[in-house]
Chains A and B, each alone.
Chain A
Amino acid sequence: MLEVKDLVVSYGAVEAVRGVTLTAVPGAITAIVGANGAGKSSLLRAITGLAPVRAGQVLLDGQDVTRVPASKRAGLGLAHAMEGRRIFRHLSVEENLRLAWQFGRRRNQWGEALDRVFLTFPILKEKRRSQAGLLSGGQQQMLIVSAATICEPSYLLLDEPSLGLAPIVVREIYHFFTDRCRENGTTVLLAEQMAAMALNVSAHGYVLRQGQVVREGPSAELVNSGLIAALSSAYL
């Protein structure tokens, strides 16, 4: 169970998240949609322990981890693919994967884990010795989601995995994590501006606006309620 209770995140006087309560559907994808600046990234960063939490709680399997340092949360089975192509640019593809495997909660052998990544994304095998910073945007995103899932995490946070990518690559990335997470029973929180896509693959959805949940419900209902059209006209 991944739960967030009355969470407040503030950077100085600016409150990015203002009292959000949510529960991620176990073993499925939960979408968090909203415009740029709605607080999606801050919410995810607070769950991993990067953003300053002023009030509220983050619970993993009922355990309060709000004060647990970010580097210890990986060991609890939490993984986070951050927005903005975060990757160790000067390390090679393989070194990036290796570090993620080495310091995560290891459940598999390194050789197997690596083979699995290379089987899914053959291009990463071809580029295994290249500096990660020299890959194309799509290849970097493949590396990022591969690194985030290499330890088969129990919880996966995905922040705008589609941002700035060609539609065909977006489809590939989405296929990858929906398949992989269904297989492993991973609980996913997916933050997206592209509401249609995120609601399409998720079981439940939350709509954030100015740091607060303004709507929530089963994704199918949110789609049918004309929310996407409303979001698109309001924000795009």
Chain B
Amino acid sequence: MEDFLTLLLAGVSVGAVYGLIAIGLNLTFWTTKTMNFGQGSVMMLCAMLTATMVAGGWPQALSILVALAVIAVLMVFTETWTVRPALKIEGSMGWAVSTLGVGIVLQGLASLWFGSQALAFPDIIFTAIDNVVVFGVHVSLQYLAVLVLALALVVVFEALVRGTVWGQAMRAVSMDQDLAAVIGIPVRWIVLGSYIASGLLAGISGILVAQIGGTVDPAFGFELVIFGFVAAVLGGMGSTTGALAGGIAAGVLQQMVGGYISSAAQHGIAFALLILILVVRPQGFFGQREFVKV
């Protein structure tokens, strides 16, 4: 029973991070119908930079802020040089190749700079062995902190999107870019902002996962972004609640399979489930079928 609860908490908390990654992917999908296929490298870079700076003696909070600032600049570059040019041609999928390319280059550069060895990631609030006992079950504080932080970010994100003028403007851009431009919404800035926000969510996710795993290496983000993508598709592309639910479902499944069957089967089963769900419910759990009224 204790094993089960431990796996469940691990699954829910890692899953909440997958949800964050998925929300980041959703964001740019809303504004431009594109997503950064190099997002895994963004997570890796953010975690690696943080780990390197902390190892170099910088304060943790400052290291994280600097790493996030680097990510923001990187996203400006990604949007301006790899996505926008491709979108000038109607129906072009060039952005998929170019964003993936940037991701691969970053991964290569990271191997060059940091070496391909895994770096130890510092304990930020709690260590891996900190825990509290709830009803006789040991609950890892690290997992709990990650879960709380991820959920808090989702709530803040949703409040910003629903409750502020800029959030509404972003939804407007996602529904009809031309109309948004005509009424004076600075579409260009909203798109750029969505890429920056998407990168920051990915960077934070990278730090959270690295915290749980304890190490980062240049290939670190690849698997994460795939789970983030699974979460987004499971939940129904574009839905925030869906992304969170999809992420948690994927995380729990991954942990259960890893814990009870074999950790080698984690991915296979996750994808088998993805295929199954897409066959039964192509729009995902929370996705709406587009209604078109004539």
Contacts and interface: CB of A to CB of B under 8 A. Distances in A.
Interface stretch (A67-75, A204-212, A219-227): A67-75
Nearest to A136: B293
B165 interface: yes
A86 B178 contact: yes
Interface string A32-45: 00000000000000
A235 B179 CA distance: 29
Nearest to A85: B293
Contacts of A102: 165, 169
A103 B190 CA distance: 13
B183 A100 contact: yes
Interface stretch (A21-29, A88-96, A122-130, A189-197): A88-96
Nearest to A80: B182
B187 interface: yes
Contacts of B293: 133-134
A69 B178 contact: no
Interface in B163-207: 165, 168-169, 171-172, 175-176, 178-188
B169 A99 contact: yes
A147 interface: yes
B113 interface: no
Given A71-B185, A103-B183, A91 B168 contact: yes
B251 to A, nearest CB: 29
B291 interface: yes
A88 B184 contact: no
A87 B176 CA distance: 8
| Chain B contact residues, majority secondary structure | helix
Contacts of A69: 181, 188
B182 A50 contact: yes
B179 A87 contact: yes
Contact of B181 (A70, A91, A99): A70
A75 B168 contact: no
B175 A91 contact: yes
Contacts of B188: 69, 71
A104 B183 contact: yes
Interface residues of B, number: 20
A48 B178 CA distance: 10
A80 B183 CA distance: 8
Nearest to A98: B168
A121 to B, nearest CB: 18
Nearest to B179: A86
A88 B181 contact: no
Contacts of A80: 182
Given A82-B179, A86-B176, A91-B175, A74 B184 contact: yes
Given A104-B183, A133-B291, A50 B171 contact: no
B175 A147 contact: no
B179 A88 contact: yes
A104 B178 contact: no
Contact of A103 (B171, B176, B184, B291): B184
Interface string B209-236: 0000000000000000000000000000
A213 to B, nearest CB: 24
Contacts of A138: none
A157 to B, nearest CB: 9
Nearest to B291: A133
A79 B182 CA distance: 7
Contacts of A50: 178, 181-182
A70 B175 contact: no
Among B169, B171, B185, the one with the most A-chain Cβ atoms within 10 Å of its Cβ is: B185
A49 interface: yes
Contacts of B172: 88, 91, 99
A97 B182 CA distance: 13
A98 to B, nearest CB: 8
Interface in A161-207: none
Contacts of B180: 71
A82 B172 CA distance: 16
Contacts of A86: 176, 178-179
B64 to A, nearest CB: 34
Which of B165, B169, B179, B184 gathers most chain A CB within 10 Å?
A: B184
Interface of B: 165, 168-169, 171-172, 175-176, 178-188, 291, 293
15 contacts: A49-B181, A69-B188, A70-B187, A71-B185, A74-B182, A79-B182, A80-B182, A82-B179, A88-B172, A88-B175, A99-B172, A99-B183, A104-B184, A133-B291, A134-B293
Given A69-B181, A70-B187, A74-B184, 11 more contacts: A71-B182, A71-B187, A74-B183, A87-B179, A88-B179, A89-B175, A91-B168, A99-B165, A99-B172, A99-B183, A104-B183
Interface of A: 48-50, 69-75, 79-80, 82, 86-91, 95, 98-100, 102-105, 133-134, 147
